[in-house]
Structure formats: C-alpha cells, structure tokens
Structure 1
Amino acid sequence: MFTGIITDIGEITTFTPTAPGQLHRLRIACHFDQTTIADGASIACNGVCLTVVQSGVDQGQTWFDVDTAAETLRMTTAKGWGKGTRLNLERALKIGDELGGHIVAGHVDGIATIVARDDLPDITRLEMAKFELRAPRDLAKFIAAKGSVTLDGVSLTVNTAVDDRFSVLIIPHTLKMTTLSDWRAGSEINLEVDLMARYAARLTEMRT
C-alpha cells in the first residue's frame, strides 16, 4: 500500500523489451539508499506498483530493476515509457508511517487524458497549475468533487467533477517535487480512483 506522497523522481536508464508487448525490463536510477531496497520490495512508479528484482549502485547512483508485464503495459502508460522517462517514485507504506495522502493500492484503473492546462501565480508569485482531465467513462462515477484521486502516483483532491471530466489544482511544492510540471494538453496519465469510492459504489450496486 502507498499514500500518494512522492518521495523521489526516478529516471529510466535502461529499457529492455524482453518479449514484444509482453514484458519490459526497466532499470530506474533514483536517490534512495540502496541498502534499504530489498529484492521483492514494492515501489510505485508513476502510480504503478512494481516489484524490485535487483538493485545496485553505479558511480554513486542507486538503481533498481523492475519488470512490466503484459497487463501493466495494457492498462497503464508504461507502454509508452522508454530510456529517459522520468517517474514519480514512492516506497511502500510501513506500519507507523504518516498517512499524508490517502490509501493508494498502486493498481492503476485506467488512463486519463489532460484536456487543458492553466498556469496560475499564487499569492507568493510561485507557479500553480490547474488541469482539466477526461476520465474513462466507466471510472468517472468514482470521481467526485472534494474526493481523492491518484494521478501518476500523486494523491490529489478533486476540484470539480462533471460528467467524465474533472479538474485538479496543483500547488507549487507538488509541481516542484513531482513530474506533474511536465503535463500538457494531450498527456496520458495513470489514474487510480479512490478505493473507498469503489467499495461504496459496489455496496450500493449490491443493494439494488
């Protein structure tokens, strides 16, 4: 489990398709302490929970390898990743850690698309950004104003939600500490809806 609070930005340094459309092996450079990364550990990469298969240090830079299987390539933006792609990283939640965002599974539900970006200065004259996104129609029902949503691994509060469109407002700190500053109209984004919303919808469905 994760919280949607990004702790590092990694970069893919090696990209190896081990089977066309079936499996990709990625090596991701990061700033984590390599001694704390165990084989088999879970790390969310742009919101996708991936399993570390090995790790090491090269010229003082920590790296870890993960595999993206066919289902991950089908359901997420991982199919478009390559050497040089920057990724939001989050280590798995430990008992006793602060739950600063919301409960995130790292299981991407689908891909949302950026419809528009509006850059706004805040009261400190730092850059803020408002994004309007379009969600897959079957997922839109789980997104509500003031609710939580995970986009590329980042826990965010929904600003508005109408039909299959919703908006989020990104503060300067989040723009600085994540890859969200790279988002543009047309960008495809990993979307995980709030688990609580999904369970509530299922309970309502079963009662009808």
Structure 2
Amino acid sequence: MFTGIIEAVGEIRRIEPKGQDVTLEIATGKLDLSDVKLGDSIASNGVCLTVVALSSDSFCADLSTETLKRSNFASASRGARVNLEKAVTPTTRLGGHLVSGHVDALAEVVSRESTGRAIEFWLQAPEHLARYITEKGSICIDGISLTVNAVDGARFKLTIVPHTADETTMKGFQTGTKVNLEVDQIARYIERLMLGDKAAVSEAQPQSDVMALLGRTGFLK
C-alpha cells in the first residue's frame, strides 16, 4: 500500500527481456534503501514492483505480461525517469490517498497550459474508467496522488503546483504523453458491492445494469 506522495525520482538503468517478461533495474536516486529488503514493494510510476535484487543505489524487479499490458513500462527505455515511493508503514503520514499500485490502464495527456506558477493538464482516460473519476476526487497518475479539478466525460483536469512538478516526472509531461492511471479504490469497491448476489454470476454485469442499480439505490442523482 502507498500514499502517492513521491519520495524520489529514479532512472531505468537496465531492461532485460526474459521471454515475454522483463526484468528492470532502477537506479533509485535519493531514495533511502537502507530499510529495504528482498521481497519488499516499491511503487515505480505507480506500479507496485517486488524487489528481487538490491544494491546500494538500485533495485531489480520482474514485470509480467499483465504489468506490461496495463502500464507504460511496455514502451519504457533505458534512462527513462520514474517516480518512486516505498510501501507505507503504520507510522507513515497519509499525505495523499490509499494507492494499491495496481494500475488500471493508460491515460493520455491531451493538453498542457501554464496558469500562474501552476501547470494545468487535461488527460483522456479510457471510457470504461470514466465513472470512477469525479471532481475533487483523488486519482493516481504515474504513482502521484492528485486531485481532480474538473471532469468532462472521460477527460479530467489536474492542476500541478511547482513543488509537485519539481519533485516528480510531471514537469516533463507533454501532449501525447502516456501515463499510468489508478482510480480510487473506494469507488471500485462500492460498485462491486452494489451488485450484491449478482457479483457471483460468471458473466460480467453490463455497465448499464450497474448504473441502473446505483441509481435505484440513491448513489446517482
């Protein structure tokens, strides 16, 4: 579990294909690895990766075909910068929101504009995830806990203050940049719970039925 508050920006040092899978070595920059051991989790661009090898300034992780399919690591290259966060401890300040590191899909930056000292981004999410994104709700982009400031269909706006831009990879985001997207866990669990006994049916519930059920129970106005 993570909070989405980035601790360091690292860099991909090595990419080693292994059949359909990949092993990455990530140089960790200023991230303190003194309390990290084999088997621990480190969120890398919002993807929960398991440490399989460790040095004083880097770690290695294996990426499955599922991870490559859902994240921007499929197109990653040596030297690419990544946002890093170690897993939370019971005493960690929850400065962002609850982030699992289980990326849902890719989103795409569709516009970037400076507003005062801040940067405003509009991003396009996959249509099937739009129902989980709400104004003033939380969202995780490349591992960063952010507040959604406006929503227009499957598009949403983020306003990035200078500190966040300086301490993450967001300063380098441009129109067309593909980013890892994780929606708020609570929204997903509510939708699943509202299915009740229908959740046990093997075939997926049509979205229209789910939305009708949420409407009948007062969750949609």
Give the TM-score of the pair, scaled to structure 2.
0.86
Q: Secondary structure at the match of 2:14?
A: strand
Q: Secondary structure at the match of 2:37?
A: coil
Q: Choose which of 157, 168, 179 in structure 1 pairs with 2:169.
A: 179
Greater mean alpha carbon deviation, residues 141-150 or residues 27-36: 27-36
Taking the aligned partners of 1:116 and 1:200, their CA distance within structure 2 comes to: 31
CA positional deviation for 1:197: 1.2
CA positional deviation for 1:205: 4.0
Matched residue, 1:204: 194
Q: Point out the structure with max Rg over C-alpha.
A: 2
Matched residue, 1:162: 152
Matched residue, 1:2: 2
CA positional deviation for 1:32: 2.6
Matched residue, 1:120: 115
Letter aligned with residue 129 of structure 1? I
Give a deviation string over 1:70-92, Cα, whole Å, max 9, x none: 10000111101121010000000
Matched residue, 1:49: 48
Give the TM-score of the pair, scaled to structure 1.
0.91
Matched residue, 1:78: 73
Give a deviation string over 1:134-155, Cα, whole Å, max 9, x none: 1000001000000000000000
Percent of pairs identical after alignment? 44
- Unmatched 5+ stretches in structure 1: 122-126
Matched residue, 2:185: 195
Q: Choose which of 76, 84, 87 in structure 1 pairs with 2:82.
A: 87
Matched residue, 2:34: 35
Taking the aligned partners of 2:166 and 2:38, their CA distance within structure 1 comes to: 30
CA positional deviation for 1:132: 0.3
Taking the aligned partners of 2:179 and 2:2, their CA distance within structure 1 comes to: 18
Q: 1:19-30 to 2 correspondence within 5 Å?
A: 19=19, 22-30=20-28
CA positional deviation for 1:66: 0.8
Give a deviation string over 1:4-44, Cα, whole Å, max 9, x none: 0000000011111112xx21111111123333220001000
Q: More strand by proportion, 1 or 2?
A: 1
Taking the aligned partners of 1:56 and 1:203, their CA distance within structure 2 comes to: 43
Matched residue, 1:142: 132
Letter aligned with residue 25 of structure 2? R
Q: Secondary structure at the match of 1:34?
A: coil
CA positional deviation for 1:102: 0.3
Give a deviation string over 1:114-139, Cα, whole Å, max 9, x none: 11001122xxxxx3100001100000
CA positional deviation for 1:203: 3.0
Matched residue, 1:106: 101
What's the Cα RMSD here?
1.2
Matched residue, 1:124: none
Taking the aligned partners of 1:37 and 1:93, their CA distance within structure 2 comes to: 12
Give a deviation string over 1:87-110, Cα, whole Å, max 9, x none: 000000111211000000000011
Q: Secondary structure at the match of 1:36?
A: coil
CA positional deviation for 1:167: 0.6
Taking the aligned partners of 1:205 and 1:165, their CA distance within structure 2 comes to: 26
Q: Secondary structure at the match of 2:55?
A: strand
